[in-house]
Amino acid sequence: MKRIFFIALACAAVLASAAEDIKIVKVNDANFEKEVLQSKKPVILDITSTSCPPCLIMIPTLIGIAKNYPDIKIATVGIDEPGIDKIKASLPIQAFPTFFMVRDGKIVNQLVGAVKEEDLPRSPQPSRRKSRTQSAIWCARLPASSTGSRTW
């Protein structure tokens, strides 16, 4: 089932990218720091499950954001995938899908459940082909180790 979800995500991204260059990054413990924490762009981190119908419904929305907001990186984590133990331990995941807006290594917003494209959090005043922005309403730091560095 989990392979079907990621195959559907990959197929949808490939079909959409035929018209434009769209990139959705699959994240795990090995690339989380580079792709999310150290990203120069704000990141919408999608935490998803293969057994979650609302997660599947969100695929076109994520593609739409990737297409319409080139200054925002879209990253996805399949909670059923191997190699994500650090991510699961570090993020306050309670339901699926969960979306974290991460900027400069910090969570600046979080939404849970299937949402409309315009309801997903965005960085302040992104360069968007269509207008609408939403300010951050929740702020937290990703957990740090005892030495003060991130757990990655």
Is 139 labeled as catalytic in the residue annotation?
no
- One of 55, 56, 72, 111 is an active-site residue; which one? 55
For strand 24-26 and strand 106-112, is the pairing parallel, antiparallel, or unpaired? Answer: unpaired
Is 55 labeled as catalytic in the residue annotation?
yes
- One of 52, 93, 111, 120 is an active-site residue; which one? 52
Catalytic amino acids?
Answer: 52, 55
